[in-house]
């Protein structure tokens, strides 16, 4: 479904229009609360917040280039054990994709959540966001938005995160309602697209009126995707060259201290208890000595490469490329590049794309008589 | 050893040399050929194209005469493949079909003849390769034929449709006989390919193409040996015309098998009637 | 283990024999599995790839429920089942007695190699100087006279080919374990008489054989020979067929009268072979053609010498006999050899092609030409070689060749990366079973070319480099060049068929195959004797497995009926069930030191020191000469009362001992799993390849690493008490047609209660309207007998007008609601059989419904039997085959329609010879001996028009298009004359095929799958054809796939056999290697539920937890692999164990 | 003719004459595999391949069959008979067609029929064949001056070799078979 709606400018800036729209959604009887990035009152930080009082949406800031948490994890917390209410969630495309993966893994529910997806302009890493704030003396979401849409650099000192720079999926395809930004003039008001029956119903109920599709959008989006895809492939190439031997890989990951932050930040890492914190890796003290004896010296902590490889195996099919792993790393290991590259190739092998559709069964859960003939076939 | 002998019409005419050389050969081998008294034509390919019953009754007549000559003489030896097939067919079909036998005997009866199916019909090649054999021949070989490479040509009707003494597709029975003379055997694919038979009379252009293919296949050999008058005359009778239309010299000596064997056994060329062959046999003089 | 009294003899250990044997063994009988060959597996040993998966899959014959009954290993390597005694290289010489009490006499062929000593090291074969064609590789390579009969078999026991062995003794001298017995001493006692007129022959033979140590005497005349035979005993006589004073055959007869057990071998010149063959009938053991060469003669003499050895006869008492000796294949070199087989090395049979592309084949799986080993670019398959050919006396179809050629062509394309051009020259494509048509379509899509014709001949191309195939297409004769030509050679009856026919008074069909009784594929005229597999005609694997199951069912019933008990006997606890899970690992390491040889290579003290530091190792025991019986016995003695719970046996050639693991376990009072036998040093250390002394530290490290790896593995061995699930000892059968009734009788015949549920008001299903089969058998009469047998059986409870409203549970414990409302009953069953049948397909094609003259086959059959068809009043009848069949959406052949049309056509022609009958067909499906009816139909003057799906016939109904014609008009194309023809017909009969009737709701409640056409989906089409992957759920008859009456009944018996095997004991024991869920770790992502191929997992609705059904779980590990945090693990193979093993394997050398 | 009109043949046909009956009986087990065609050395010269001819026989297409030159071109090499997977007597069937062709006096087959006829006349007269007499009669019957000319070179060579003679050979014994032939004809007509 691709019905377009329009909400005329209310006079203020775009953020004000968006807040107005969100308020009208939260005002609906069918929506009990709204998960949305919001400026924290106490600090210059933007974090996802579950808002139930509409007036507090005056602090909502979904345009802010901050991305501290992938909210799919929050939705999982809200819905996994069953939620007897309906909520709305304002999400980035990668958050929606992660949400879809978690639904398939029975870690989230899709029914209680109305998803409002934002065209994604990208975000800074936590650290860069702080620098950006300092540079602008305040949130400056509107300025960021204008700069990104016009193709200008939003900051003189910091770049948006590597994950966002190579993201070729900036449109929130899996949302109920898409809030369009790309290819839409700032003066024209808000353009919203109903992607599902449910989204259409909401837009009808808040009184949005039907509109023609924004003319420029398709072209702008396609050229953006093309540019990002090229960027992505370039990154893949560089990354592959950087990790194509076990020695290079261990060098790549040498900064790892087993803090497991990446795992905690990863929206797809859903295990209740990670195998790396079970007794499997709680080695006997003597074992360390034995290893040391055999090699002469044993790097501590151990099992770091094993840990990352394991995560690549487990999450390679579900990685949505949100970049939270790198964002969370205290030692600046470029994990996003590595994970995206491996995940991309893994998913391609199964003709699967994480987060693309709730109807596609995850790889390995279905058995095909004929597959991977190049590996198992006679010709190999 | 004695055989009943059925020469057939061709051997009295266009294939006289086949008859003469066969008799000469058996003479040297010390085997008597007793000609069937008053044998008549086997019907050739004409009878079967005109009348089913005639095509059986005609050869059956000669068979019945042969039977009347008693059991002291052995099988019926037939050098001509067409006669062999017709006689054999009459023998086999009447054996399989008692009604047919009765009808044939109805035709024969006024002449005081009755077919009983006692005699075996044997082709000359069958007798040479199985009863006499290469070993039997070897005793009489006096002149080595080592100079010659010979292409054995079997044709159709001594091999097909009745599979009696050799593989109908890949026959080999002539080879030991040729080898016994010291000559070499030319390996080729045309040994069983039809020569055109009576098509040579009805559709000469067609038949001559078939012969051309056979003669081409024999290139490299010094001669082709045959065991059938029809094959012989078709292979040697038109070599000039065939060479002209093929724009190649396809002349080649064609001999009857007993002629060739006779040479090795030192029989006089005249006694083998080599001069009667239509192809140029100077290489064998 | 539960045991049942009673035993069965299965002759032939191919697919069919194995299936029957395993079925019977699982049911609890003792099975003697006999094969003439030195290995089991039959032809399957040679086939790496089977359609439709293009892989093997033979292991699927192994038990899936109670898997611990047999070693779960590749069946091509060997079968180890507690209830099966395999007798290889053995032949059944005689069978006497009656059902329930047969006595079979066996002759054990000598192999000269002691299987208990042979370790399969292969040094003997290297030493052997005799090279012969390797029949295993279809003659594409050579092997030695001593050889390993099947390369993949374990242990790799060698045998001696007595027809080739010269007894030179080279192998004896190199065998490291002294396994080869070729004692010369006994030869002095073996007396041979040479009877020949020619003194040269007498002298030659006497010198030759006396030189080998035999006792030789001679005779120059028949009289002299008989004189000698009267005065002293001889073992062997070489007798010339033409003796001066009397005929050899007469001497033979008299000689046998004097010494009945004498072996007489006729010697003959080439010319007298015919009379030699006759002498075999008179009792000669064999004949040999003169002149003899020494190389040829000696092996023959030794063969008779060895075969006459003592203890070769054995008698078996069995209750039932299954003959499953398979069939032979046509030899295309016989007769006319129009395809140059034997002449051109690149013309091969399809069996040779399978070897050619096999990884264990002569070329290591590379696709090359046998003649020059150059890559193959273009291959032709020629179908129907020695099939469907009256010239080779084969008025039958060999049934399997179409599919095997398609498979081989696809494999060739796969191996060649799509570059190899493949053409199949075929007549009809016989795609008569459910998945065949689809497979054929796949092949066409993948680029395999099909040329419909009969190939005329194969010759060498003019340049001599390739093979030229001559054939005919619609434009006339053509010639095409190929690198390789594969002949799909047809079937010929088993060598033994005639022997068994005479031995047991069994019927042979006109082509010499053992023939089953009407309406059965397995029963013979001799009660208690059954036929399995290809012995009654070649079948594909699916059919062979079904027939084998049916044969096993028949045998089981026969044994049961004659008093073989179905009471289960629990054997005494002997340590096999000991729970070692709860015990700390306490390992005994046994190290075979091989005399002083190991000590010479390693530092034993250092090694023992390092091993003893391993806390789990309690003791390290040095033993010597395990490969000798003494050494082995001594080792077993040492095990008594050792307080250990795991044993590691460290040797060379561990494979050679694998099958003796149980002996060790029993001696130590441990479960078999607690014993591991491992190679810890390469066997060539002791076979000339020994490393230098200065390498001692390295060698010691090597052995240490191997030992520690094995120890790490042994620590993780999991062997707890197996879970036991109580069983409802009765069966539920849904559907009361012929399949359901047959299954009911088979199960009740074993003494179990059966609920037979039929939705109609009477039993019989489709048989109620079927009058006669094509072979003239009376269907109605058969139906009546079956119905009354069902009604008379007190164990069968028939529920008419009923359905199964609900069903729950799983294998062993199904609870069902039969009927509805107040009549509903609750049923408790251990197994469920779906025999819900099928109906004639509906159609709207070809004017059906627009004219009463257009009718279906069923309508015609019904009208005919009700006397509403008057053949005399008809002048022209047309039939169209494959109506809405064999193309999507119903892309399968319905199997029965071609035979029905032939039956109807011949009926009409017989009733009214002036009547014209036209059959419009795509491919006539008359597999096997049904082909002869196709021939008969043609002979009766029925005219056949082939059509293609692209150009279907067109039908004009009278009155249509304002047409004034009074008759139907069918327009079709005749490809031979290349013109369209128009048939005016009084009647048009449409073959609309069969569609299944399978209750979808019940199937999903049973967690059994339905295929895309609505048929029951087999666990595996070939290997497990009557059961679902959901254990305890079976199907038979039309619910499985379209089939004929006898085939439906065979499937019913096969399914019944499998069901009996589930319900014949009070408890079913789960396998020990199964998965468990650690709920505290489980995140509930349910990936494991989707990944489990056996439907063994579900969410417990009460706790929301994932539960594993222990009977369904096969321990495959798919769940453990997909679970990210090891919340589900296999009983063996946890991460900790794996890590330890990896660690050990990476240890120092 | 078959392909000329494009209109389909309609079955079952009215049975005009039961000429083909015995032939159909011989051939009805034919499966149209084409082995006969591939075996035939003359197939490329034939307007209908042997396979097509047999199909036409089974379908009762008398007219097409006797318009065809196929059976006239059969040189009776028996290859098809040898190879036929149904073991059908195909050469015999060709002979039967030749007999029918002669009986029906089919225009296209007339030269062949006359050739065989002349041959048998000679046999009937003398018991054995007199080649010169038979050829002479054949030429006269054909009334085509081109035919004898075609044979002249060979004839002259044979004459020169004294294998044939223009004069009736007095030495040769004669076995007149006229009565024999009459008995055959009579018996055949009874059938």
Instruction: Give me the residue label for tokens 């005793």.
Output: B139
Hey, which residues does A190 pair with through a beta bridge?
Answer: A7
Same domain, yes or no: A180 and A208? yes
pLDDT at D16 over 60: no
| Boundary of a domain, candidates A165, A195, A226 | A226
pLDDT at D138 over 50: yes
Dist CA B232 CA A319 (whole Å): 87
Q: How confident is the model at residue C409 (pLDDT cuts 50, 70, 90)?
A: very high
pLDDT in tens, C726-740: 999 999 999 999 999
Nearest to C90 by CA among C326, C328, C310, C312: C312
Residues on chain D touching C926 (C-beta within 8 angstroms): none
Nearest CA in chain C to A306: C1139
Superfamily of domain C329-491: FAD/NAD(P)-binding domain (3.50.50.60)
Q: Decide: C541 and C404 in contact? Cβ < 8 Å.
A: no
Q: How far is CA C750 from the centre of its chain?
A: 26
Q: How confident is the model at residue A233 (pLDDT cuts 50, 70, 90)?
A: very high
Superfamily of domain C191-307: Response regulator (3.40.50.2300)
pLDDT at C44 over 70: yes
The pLDDT assigned to C347 comes to 96
Q: How confident is the model at residue D145 (pLDDT cuts 50, 70, 90)?
A: low
Average confidence (pLDDT) over A200-217: 92
Same domain, yes or no: B234 and B268? yes
Domain count, chain B: 2
The CATH T-level fold of domain C840-994 is: FAD/NAD(P)-binding domain (3.50.50)
pLDDT in tens, C867-890: 999 999 999 999 999 999 999 999
pLDDT at A239 over 50: yes
Is there a domain that residue B130 lies in? no
Is there a domain that residue B7 lies in? yes
The pLDDT assigned to A379 comes to 54
Residues on chain C touching B135 (C-beta within 8 angstroms): none
The pLDDT assigned to C901 comes to 97
pLDDT at C590 over 90: yes
Range of the domain at A95: 3-226
Calculate ∠ Cα C945-C947-C949, nearest 5°. 160
The pLDDT assigned to C569 comes to 46
Mean pLDDT, chain C, whole residue set: 89
Same domain, yes or no: B165 and B67? no
Calculate ∠ Cα C392-C395-C401, nearest 5°. 85
Cis peptide, bond prior to residue C291, ω within 30 of zero: yes
Nearest CA in chain C to B130: C271
Residues on chain C touching A295 (C-beta within 8 angstroms): none
Same domain, yes or no: A271 and A142? no
Helix/strand number for chain D, H first, E second: 11, 1
Question: Measured between CA atoms, how close is B270 to chain D, in angstroms?
Answer: 13
Domain count, chain A: 2
The pLDDT assigned to D132 comes to 75
Length of chain D: 191
Do the Cβ atoms of B169 and C338 come within 8 Å?
yes
Q: At what angle do helices C629-639 and C661-668 cross, to 10 degrees?
A: 30
pLDDT at C102 over 90: yes
Same domain, yes or no: A149 and A86? yes
The pLDDT assigned to C946 comes to 94
What is chain C's percent helix, strand, coil content, to nearest 5? Answer: 30, 25, 45
Question: Measured between CA atoms, how close is C876 to chain D, in angstroms?
Answer: 7
Do the Cβ atoms of D12 and C979 come within 8 Å?
no
Is there a domain that residue B136 lies in? no
The pLDDT assigned to C900 comes to 97
Nearest CA in chain A to C1104: A81
pLDDT at C829 over 70: yes
Dist CA C862 CA C869 (whole Å): 9
Average confidence (pLDDT) over C979-983: 90
pLDDT at C151 over 90: no
Instruction: Give me the residue label for tokens 């005065």.
Output: C231
| Boundary of a domain, candidates B61, B95, B123 | B123
Same domain, yes or no: A203 and A280? no
Do the Cβ atoms of C337 and B189 come within 8 Å?
no
The pLDDT assigned to D169 comes to 59
Nearest CA in chain B to D150: B204
| Boundary of a domain, candidates A226, A246, A265 | A226
Nearest to C611 by CA among C619, C600, C599: C619
- Residue D81 forms contact with B (CB below 8 Å): yes
Do the Cβ atoms of B156 and D77 come within 8 Å?
yes
pLDDT at C57 over 50: yes
pLDDT in tens, A149-194: 988 889 989 999 999 999 999 999 999 999 999 998 877 889 999 9
The pLDDT assigned to C513 comes to 96
pLDDT in tens, C910-929: 999 999 999 999 999 999 99
* Domain formed by C587-715, architecture: 3-Layer(aba) Sandwich (3.40)
The pLDDT assigned to C203 comes to 87
Average confidence (pLDDT) over C536-547: 95
Average confidence (pLDDT) over C99-128: 89
What are the backbone dihedrals phi and psi of residue C388, each rounded to the nearest 5 degrees, phi first? Answer: 50, 40
Q: How confident is the model at residue D3 (pLDDT cuts 50, 70, 90)?
A: very low
The pLDDT assigned to C43 comes to 87
Average confidence (pLDDT) over C459-486: 90
Question: Do strands C1105-1108 and C1097-1100 pair parallel, antiparallel, or not at all (unpaired)?
Answer: antiparallel
Residues on chain D touching B43 (C-beta within 8 angstroms): 120, 123
The pLDDT assigned to C3 comes to 44
Do the Cβ atoms of C391 and D49 come within 8 Å?
no
Length of chain A: 380
Average confidence (pLDDT) over C1113-1132: 89
Interface residues of chain B, partner chain C, Cβ below 8 Å: 167-170, 189
- pLDDT-above-70 percentage for chain C: 96
| Boundary of a domain, candidates A195, A226, A257 | A226
Looking up residue B173, the CATH number of its domain turns out to be: 3.40.50.11810
Nearest to C459 among B167, B168, B189 (CB): B189
Looking up residue B102, the CATH number of its domain turns out to be: 1.20.1050.140
Please provide the distance, in angstroms rounded to a whole number, between the alpha carbons at the two ends of chain A: 44
Average confidence (pLDDT) over D172-186: 89
Nearest to B141 by CA among B186, B185, B177: B177
Nearest to C456 among D24, D35, D59 (CB): D35
Dist CA A152 CA A172 (whole Å): 22
The pLDDT assigned to A123 comes to 96
pLDDT at C107 over 50: yes
Question: Measured between CA atoms, how close is C329 to chain D, in angstroms?
Answer: 18
Do the Cβ atoms of A280 and C1126 come within 8 Å?
yes
Joined together, the tokens standing for residue A203 give 């837009």
Is there a domain that residue B137 lies in? no
Least confident of C615-624, C786-795, C854-863, C991-1000: C615-624
Average confidence (pLDDT) over B214-230: 93
The secondary structure of C182-239 as a DSSP string is --SGGGGG-EEEEE-S-HHHHHHHHHHHHHTT-EEEEESSHHHHHHHHHHS--SEEEE
pLDDT in tens, C839-870: 999 999 999 999 999 999 999 999 999 999 99
Mean pLDDT, chain D, whole residue set: 82
Question: Do strands A209-210 and C831-834 pair parallel, antiparallel, or not at all (unpaired)?
Answer: unpaired
The pLDDT assigned to C384 comes to 95
Q: Where are the domains of chain D?
A: 2-104, 110-179
- Residue A280 forms contact with C (CB below 8 Å): yes
The secondary structure of C1023-1090 as a DSSP string is TBTTB-SSTTEEE-GGGTS---HHHHHHHHHHHHHHHHHHHSSSEEEPPSS-EEE-TTT-----HHHH
Interface test with C, best of A263, A365, A367, A368 (most C CBs within 10 A): A365
Joined together, the tokens standing for residue B122 give 């044997």
Q: Residue B130: CB partners within 8 Å, gap ≥ 6?
A: B165, B173
Residue C957 CB neighbour total at 10 angstroms: 20
Range of the domain at B63: 2-123
Q: Decide: B118 and B71 in contact? Cβ < 8 Å.
A: yes
Q: How far is CA C38 from the centre of its chain?
A: 16
Mean pLDDT, chain B, whole residue set: 91
Q: Residue C925: CB partners within 8 Å, gap ≥ 6?
A: C428, C430, C431, C432, C893, C895, C897, C898, C899
Do the Cβ atoms of D35 and C454 come within 8 Å?
yes
Calculate ∠ Cα A120-A124-A129, nearest 5°. 130
Question: Measured between CA atoms, how close is B172 to chain C, in angstroms?
Answer: 13
* Domain formed by D2-104, architecture: Orthogonal Bundle (1.10)
Average confidence (pLDDT) over D63-84: 89
Least confident of A37-46, C895-904, C938-947, D149-158: D149-158
Q: Does an interface of 3+ CB pairs under 8 Å exist between D and B?
A: yes
pLDDT in tens, C655-674: 778 778 888 988 888 888 88
Dist CA D113 CA A90 (whole Å): 100
pLDDT at C34 over 90: yes
- Residue C624 forms contact with B (CB below 8 Å): no
pLDDT at C183 over 80: no
**Torsion angle of the four alpha carbons B134, B135, B140, B145, in this order, in degrees rounded to the nearest 10:** 50
- Residue C338 forms contact with B (CB below 8 Å): yes
The CATH T-level fold of domain C1074-1130 is: Alpha-Beta Plaits (3.30.70)
Same domain, yes or no: B175 and B235? yes
Least confident of A39-48, C193-202, C891-900, D154-163: D154-163
Alpha helices in C652-802 (DSSP H): 661-668, 696-715, 738-748, 779-792
- Environment class of C1009 (CB within 10 Å of its CB; exposed 0-12, middle 13-18, buried 19+): middle
Nearest to C1085 among A106, A361, A369 (CB): A106
Is there a domain that residue B27 lies in? yes
Q: How confident is the model at residue C688 (pLDDT cuts 50, 70, 90)?
A: low
Q: How confident is the model at residue C270 (pLDDT cuts 50, 70, 90)?
A: low
Superfamily of domain C2-109+317-326+494-570: FAD/NAD(P)-binding domain (3.50.50.60)
Average confidence (pLDDT) over A230-254: 96
């Amino acid at each position: 479904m691709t019905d377009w709606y329009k909400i005329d400018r209310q006079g203020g800036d775009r953020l004000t229009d968006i807040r107005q729209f969100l308020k009208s959604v939260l005002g609906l009887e069918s929506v009990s609360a709204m998960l949305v990035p919001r400026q924290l009152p106490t600090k210059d930080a933007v974090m996802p917040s579950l808002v139930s009082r509409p007036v507090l949406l005056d602090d909502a800031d979904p345009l802010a280039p901050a991305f501290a948490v992938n909210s799919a994890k929050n939705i999982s917390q809200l819905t996994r054990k069953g939620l007897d209410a309906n909520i709305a969630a304002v999400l980035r495309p990668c958050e929606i994709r992660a949400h879809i993966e978690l639904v398939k893994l029975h870690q989230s529910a899709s029914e209680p959540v109305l998803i409002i997806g934002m065209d994604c302009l990208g975000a800074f890493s936590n650290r860069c966001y702080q620098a950006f704030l300092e540079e602008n003396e305040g949130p400056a979401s509107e300025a960021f938005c204008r700069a990104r849409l016009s193709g200008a650099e939003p900051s003189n000192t910091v770049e948006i995160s590597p994950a966002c720079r190579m993201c070729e999926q900036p449109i929130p395809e899996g949302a109920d309602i898409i809030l369009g930004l790309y290819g839409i003039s700032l003066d024209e008001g808000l353009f919203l697209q109903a992607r599902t029956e449910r989204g259409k119903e909401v837009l009808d109920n808040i009184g949005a009126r039907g509109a023609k599709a924004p003319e420029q959008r398709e072209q702008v989006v396609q050229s953006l995707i093309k540019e990002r895809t090229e960027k992505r492939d370039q990154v893949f190439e560089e990354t592959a060259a950087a990790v194509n031997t076990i020695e290079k890989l261990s060098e790549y990951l040498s900064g790892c201290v087993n803090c497991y932050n990446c795992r905690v930040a990863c929206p797809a890492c859903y295990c209740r208890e990670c195998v790396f914190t079970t007794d499997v890796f709680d080695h006997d003290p003597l074992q360390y000595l034995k290893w040391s004896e055999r090699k002469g010296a044993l790097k501590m902590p151990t099992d770091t490469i094993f840990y990352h490889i394991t995560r690549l195996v487990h999450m390679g099919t579900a990685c949505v490329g949100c970049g939270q792993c790198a964002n969370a790393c205290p030692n600046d290991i470029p994990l996003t590049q590595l994970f995206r590259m491996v995940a991309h190739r893994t998913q391609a092998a199964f003709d699967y794309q994480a987060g693309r559709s709730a109807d596609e069964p995850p790889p390995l859960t279905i058995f095909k008589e004929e597959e991977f003939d190049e590996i198992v076939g006679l010709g190999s | 050893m004695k055989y009943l002998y059925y020469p057939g019409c061709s051997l009295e005419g266009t294939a006289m040399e086949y008859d003469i050389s066969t008799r000469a050969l058996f003479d040297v081998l010390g085997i008597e050929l007793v000609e069937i008294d008053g044998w008549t034509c086997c019907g050739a390919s004409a009878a079967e194209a005109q009348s089913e019953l005639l095509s059986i009754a005609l050869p059956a007549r000669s068979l019945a005469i042969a039977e009347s000559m008693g059991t002291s003489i052995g099988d019926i030896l037939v050098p001509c493949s067409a006669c062999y097939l017709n006689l054999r067919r009459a023998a086999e079909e009447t054996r399989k079909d008692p009604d047919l036998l009765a009808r044939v005997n109805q035709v024969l009866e006024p002449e005081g003849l009755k077919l009983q199916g006692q005699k075996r019909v044997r082709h000359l090649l069958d007798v040479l390769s199985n009863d006499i054999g290469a070993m039997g021949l070897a005793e009489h070989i006096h002149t080595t034929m080592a100079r010659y490479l010979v292409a054995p040509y079997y044709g159709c009707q001594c091999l097909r449709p009745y599979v009696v003494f050799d593989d109908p597709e890949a026959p080999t029975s002539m080879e030991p006989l040729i080898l016994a003379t010291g000559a070499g055997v030319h390996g080729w694919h045309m040994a069983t390919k039809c020569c055109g038979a009576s098509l040579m009379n009805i559709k000469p252009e067609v038949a001559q193409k078939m012969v051309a293919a056979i003669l081409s296949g024999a290139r490299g050999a010094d001669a082709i040996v045959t065991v059938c008058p029809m094959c012989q005359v078709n292979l040697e009778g038109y070599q000039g015309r065939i060479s002209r239309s093929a724009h190649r010299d396809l002349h080649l000596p064609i001999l009857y098998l007993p002629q060739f064997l006779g040479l090795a056994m030192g029989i006089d060329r005249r006694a083998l009637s080599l001069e009667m062959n239509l192809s140029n046999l100077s290489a064998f003089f | 283990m539960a045991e049942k009294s009673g035993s069965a003899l299965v002759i032939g250990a191919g697919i069919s024999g194995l299936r029957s044997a395993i079925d019977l063994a699982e049911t609890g009988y003792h099975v003697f599995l006999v094969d003439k060959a030195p290995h089991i597996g039959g032809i399957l040993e040679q086939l790496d790839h089977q359609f439709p998966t293009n892989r093997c899959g033979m292991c699927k014959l192994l038990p899936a429920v109670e898997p611990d009954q047999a070693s779960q290993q590749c069946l091509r390597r060997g079968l180890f089942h507690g209830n099966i005694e395999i007798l290889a290289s053995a032949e059944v010489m005689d069978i006497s007695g009656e059902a329930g009490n047969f006595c079979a006499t066996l002759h054990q062929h000598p192999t000269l190699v002691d299987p208990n000593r042979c370790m399969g090291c292969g040094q003997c074969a290297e030493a052997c100087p005799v090279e012969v064609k390797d029949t295993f590789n279809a003659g594409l390579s050579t092997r030695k006279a001593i050889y390993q009969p099947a390369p993949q078999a374990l242990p790799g026991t060698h045998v001696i080919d007595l027809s080739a062995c010269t007894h030179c003794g080279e192998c004896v001298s190199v065998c490291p374990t002294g396994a080869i017995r070729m004692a010369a001493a006994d030869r002095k006692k073996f007396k041979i008489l040479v009877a020949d007129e020619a003194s040269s022959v007498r002298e030659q033979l006497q010198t030759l054989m006396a030189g080998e140590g035999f006792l030789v005497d001679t005779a120059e005349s028949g009289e002299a020979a008989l004189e000698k035979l009267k005065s002293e005993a001889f073992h062997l006589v070489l007798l010339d067929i033409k003796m001066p004073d009397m005929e050899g055959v007469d001497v033979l007869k008299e000689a046998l009268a004097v010494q009945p057990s004498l072996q007489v071998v006729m010697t003959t010149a080439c010319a007298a072979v015919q009379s030699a063959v006759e002498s075999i009938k008179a009792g000669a053991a064999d004949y040999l053609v003169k002149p003899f060469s020494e190389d040829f003669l000696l092996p023959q003499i030794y063969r008779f010498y060895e075969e006459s050895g003592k203890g070769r006869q054995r008698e078996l008492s069995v209750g039932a006999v299954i003959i499953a000796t398979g069939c032979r294949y046509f030899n295309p070199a016989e007769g006319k050899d129009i395809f140059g087989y034997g002449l051109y090395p690149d013309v091969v049979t399809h069996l040779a092609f399978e070897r050619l592309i096999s990884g264990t084949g002569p070329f290591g799986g590379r696709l090359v030409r046998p003649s020059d080993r150059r890559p193959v670019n273009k291959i032709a398959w020629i179908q129907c070689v020695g099939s469907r050919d009256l010239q080779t006396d084969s008025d039958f179809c060999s049934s399997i060749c179409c599919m095997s050629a398609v498979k081989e062509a696809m494999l060739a394309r796969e191996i060649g990366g799509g570059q190899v051009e493949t053409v199949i020259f075929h007549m009809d494509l016989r795609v008569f079973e459910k998945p065949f048509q689809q497979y054929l379509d796949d092949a066409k899509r993948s680029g395999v070319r099909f040329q419909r014709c009969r190939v005329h001949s194969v010759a060498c191309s003019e340049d001599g480099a390739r093979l030229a195939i001559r054939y005919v297409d619609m434009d006339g004769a053509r010639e095409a060049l190929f690198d390789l030509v594969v002949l799909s050679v047809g079937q010929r009856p088993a060598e033994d068929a005639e022997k068994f026919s005479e031995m047991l008074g069994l019927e042979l069909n006109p082509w010499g195959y053992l023939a089953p009784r009407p309406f059965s594929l397995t029963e013979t005229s001799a009660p208690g004797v059954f036929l399995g597999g290809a012995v009654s005609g070649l079948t594909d694997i699916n059919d062979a497995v079904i027939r084998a199951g049916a044969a096993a069912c028949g045998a089981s019933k026969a044994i049961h009926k004659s008093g073989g008990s179905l009471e289960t006997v629990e054997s005494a606890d002997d340590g096999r069930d000991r729970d070692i899970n709860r015990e700390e690992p306490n390992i005994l390491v046994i190290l075979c030191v091989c005399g002083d040889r190991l000590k010479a290579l390693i530092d034993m003290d250092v090694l023992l020191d390092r091993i003893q530091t391993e806390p789990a190792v309690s003791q390290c025991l040095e033993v010597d000469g395990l490969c000798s019986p003494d050494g082995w016995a001594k080792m077993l003695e040492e095990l008594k009362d050792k307080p250990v719970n795991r044993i590691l046996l460290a040797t060379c050639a561990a494979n050679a001992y694998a099958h003796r693991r149980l002996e060790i376990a029993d001696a130590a009072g441990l479960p078999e799993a607690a014993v591991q036998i491992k190679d810890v040093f390469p066997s060539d250390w002791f076979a000339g390849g020994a490393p230098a002394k200065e390498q001692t530290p390295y060698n010691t490290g090597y052995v240490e690493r191997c030992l520690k790896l094995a120890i790490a593995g042994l620590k993780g061995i999991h062997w707890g008490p197996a879970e036991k699930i109580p069983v409802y000892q009765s069966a539920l059968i849904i559907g009361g047609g012929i399949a359901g009734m047959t299954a009911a009788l088979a199960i009740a015949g074993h003494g179990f209660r059966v609920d037979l549920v039929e939705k109609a008001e009477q039993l019989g299903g489709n048989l109620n309207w079927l009058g006669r089969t094509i072979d003239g058998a009376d269907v109605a009469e058969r139906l009546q007998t079956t119905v009354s047998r069902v009604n008379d059986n007190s164990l069968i409870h028939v529920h008419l007008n009923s359905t199964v409203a609900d069903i729950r549970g799983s294998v062993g414990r199904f609870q069902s609601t039969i009927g509805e409302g107040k009549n509903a009953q609750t049923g408790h069953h251990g197994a469920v059989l779906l025999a819900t049948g099928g109906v004639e397909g509906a159609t709207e094609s070809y004017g059906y419904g627009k004219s009463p003259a257009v009718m279906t086959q069923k309508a015609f059959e019904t009208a005919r039997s009700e006397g509403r068809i008057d053949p005399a009043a008809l002048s022209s009848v047309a039939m169209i085959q494959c109506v809405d069949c064999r193309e999507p959406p119903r892309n399968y052949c319905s199997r029965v329609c071609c035979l029905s049309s032939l039956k109807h056509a011949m009926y009409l022609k017989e009733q009214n010879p002036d009547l014209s009958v036209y059959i419009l067909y795509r491919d006539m499906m008359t597999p096997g001996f049904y082909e002869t009816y196709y021939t008969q139909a043609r002979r009766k003057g029925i005219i056949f028009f082939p059509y293609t799906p692209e150009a279907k016939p067109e039908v004009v109904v009278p009155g249509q298009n304002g047409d004034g014609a009074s008759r139907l008009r069918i327009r079709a194309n005749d490809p031979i004359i290349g013109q369209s023809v128009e048939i005016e017909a009084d009647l048009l009969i449409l073959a609309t095929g069969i569609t299944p009737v399978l209750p979808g709701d019940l199937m999903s409640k049973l967690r059994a799958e339905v295929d895309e056409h609505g048929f029951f989906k087999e666990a595996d089409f070939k290997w497990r054809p009557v059961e679902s992957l959901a254990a305890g759920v079976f199907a038979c008859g039309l619910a499985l796939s379209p089939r004929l009456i006898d085939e439906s009944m065979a499937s019913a018996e096969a399914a019944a056999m499998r069901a009996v095997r589930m319900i014949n004991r009070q408890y079913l024991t789960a396998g020990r290697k199964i998965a468990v869920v650690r709920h505290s770790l489980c995140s509930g992502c349910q990936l494991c539920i989707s990944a489990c191929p056996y439907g063994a997992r579900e969410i417990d609705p009460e706790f929301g937890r994932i539960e594993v059904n222990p009977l369904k779980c096969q321990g495959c590990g798919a769940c453990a692999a997909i679970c990210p945090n090891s919340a589900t693990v296999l009983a063996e193979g946890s991460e900790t164990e794996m890590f330890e093993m990896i660690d050990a394997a990476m240890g120092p050398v | 003719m078959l392909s000329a009109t494009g209109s389909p043949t309609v079955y079952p046909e009215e049975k005009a004459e039961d000429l083909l009956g015995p032939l159909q009986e011989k051939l009805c087990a034919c499966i149209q595999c084409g082995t006969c065609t591939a075996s035939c050395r003359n197939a490329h010269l034939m307007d209908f391949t042997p396979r097509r001819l047999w199909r036409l026989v089974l379908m009762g297409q008398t007219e097409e069959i006797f318009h065809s030159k196929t059976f006239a071109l059969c040189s009776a090499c028996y290859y098809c008979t040898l190879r036929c997977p149904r073991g059908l007597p195909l050469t015999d069937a060709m002979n039967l067609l030749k007999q029918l062709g002669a009986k029906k006096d089919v225009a296209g087959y007339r030269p062949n029929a006359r050739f065989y006829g002349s041959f048998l006349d000679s046999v009937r007269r003398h018991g054995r064949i007199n080649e010169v007499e038979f050829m002479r009669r054949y030429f006269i019957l054909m009334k085509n001056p081109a035919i004898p000319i075609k044979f002249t070179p060979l004839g002259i060579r044979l004459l020169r070799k004294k294998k044939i003679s223009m004069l009736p050979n007095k030495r040769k014994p004669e076995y007149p078979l006229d009565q024999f032939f009459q008995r055959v004809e009579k018996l055949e007509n009874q059938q």
